[in-house]
Amino acid sequence: MTTTFRTATEADTALILQFIRALADYEHVLDQVVATEDLLREFLFRQQRAEVVFALENGAEVGFALYFYNFPAFLGRPGLYIEDLFVKPEFRGHGYGKALLQKLAQTAVERGCGRLEWNCMNWNRPSIEFYRSMGARPLNDRTYYRIDGETLTNLAAQLR
């Protein structure tokens, strides 16, 4: 199998949303998806806040990764952060996830990034085992925190 890739364009907005919904469904959080085609179009393509790459089999999209840059200050250069990586269930176990990670690693190296990072749900044993098989190691010395929704709005409003 030779995996090919292509970078998403604005014409792929509906397809990107389909992949996001499929991932959310797999993670049992479909009810949390508030993304719309208009939002994706604005922030992915007009403001270029993130990028998407597709893995292809015979020209058809079988997986995707959505990523953006972070800036690890201690490294003094950008890192590449994978927000979402998803392979359609019927194509799992055929090397597409590995190929996507390899493609993102190649992108990170070519663009001078110092590291490649992502997170994974603690219950997702198949993915955790897959990531470990690729040489990834969990960061046990930190916990991710999140502020969103009304809490985010309220926190922002407190600065006067």
Give me the sheet containing 51-57, strands edge to edge. Answer: 4-7, 51-57, 60-70, 79-87, 116-118
- Contact indicator for 57, 96 with CB cutoff of 8 Å: yes
47: which DSSP letter? S
Q: Which of 67, 81, 96, 131 is catalytic?
A: 131
127 vs 52: CA distance, rounded Å = 20
Give the long-range contacts of residues 91-94, CB within 8 A, separation 24 or more: 91/57, 91/62, 91/63, 94/1, 94/57
Q: Is 131 among the catalytic positions?
A: yes
- Contact indicator for 88, 52 with CB cutoff of 8 Å: no
User: Does an H or E element contain 151, and which?
Assistant: helix 149-157
Catalytic residues: 131
